[in-house]
Amino acid sequence: MPQAFKDHYLNNIRPELQKELKLDNIMSVPRLAKITINTSSRDFKTDKEFLSKTKAWMSAITGQNPVETRATKSIATFVLREGDVVGLKVTLRGDRAYDFFEKLVKVVLPKLRDFQGVSRTAFDSKGNYTLGLREQIVFPEVEYDKIGRIQGLEITISSTANDKEKAFAFLKSMGMPFTKI
């Protein structure tokens, strides 16, 4: 079952999307390139236990270890030194990206409180979609007792679509629950 959603995309969704977008070549149909999950906190540089707990829940929801992002400059106003840990990120590609997307659409988003759908306007000019979540506890792998505190995260879904319209059609066909107009 690990590749069931990817197989469903390749066998069912991709041919329909090719007809819908009126594309000649099957290889020009948009596909999932990567999913980037990141989070940040000012407390990472002082509270190493909080940093390790955040790494633990991020690796639990993604299936791979997060990478520390560090400050490139010192900023006195923010009490930030060059080299301090400011965030964590994970980049998922291939089968893991499809598995995470399936979990996001079928398990996590319906679990949100008062969920009416995701915004239709969160696309950038290249067709990437960014979604912010206020709480990490909506993921079934996260145990409330072990996380330390509630923390938000940002999920960026990158596809091979080169504009907003194709990216929207791709995500809609993949099952992303967009808001009604």
**CATH code of residue 12:** 3.30.1440.10
**7/114: higher pLDDT:** 7
- CA distances 118 to 27, 58, 180, Å, are 28, 22, 9
72 domain residue, yes or no: no
Tokens of 97: 């990206």
pLDDT at residue 10 above 60?
Answer: yes
How much is the pLDDT for 1?
Answer: 45
- How does the average pLDDT of the chain come out, rounded? 87
pTM assigned to the model: 0.89
62 domain residue, yes or no: no
Please state the domain count of the chain: 1
From 27-31, 79-83, 132-136, the region with the lowest mean pLDDT: 79-83
How much is the pLDDT for 2?
Answer: 57
- In the chain, % of residues over pLDDT 70: 99
How much is the pLDDT for 41?
Answer: 85
69 domain residue, yes or no: no
Domain that holds residue 12: 4-39+90-174
61 domain residue, yes or no: no
163 domain residue, yes or no: yes
User: Shortest CA distance to 72 belongs to which of 87, 60, 55, 93?
Assistant: 87
Compute the average pLDDT of residues 78-85. 79
How much is the pLDDT for 37?
Answer: 95
d(Cα 178, Cα 93) in Å, to the nearest integer? 23
d(Cα 26, Cα 17) in Å, to the nearest integer? 9
Q: Taking the CB of residue 163, how many other CB atoms lie within 10 A of it?
A: 12
Confidence of residue 16 (pLDDT cuts 50, 70, 90): very high
- Taking only the tens place, the pLDDT of each residue in 34-74 is 999 999 888 888 888 888 888 888 999 999 999 988 888 88
128 domain residue, yes or no: yes
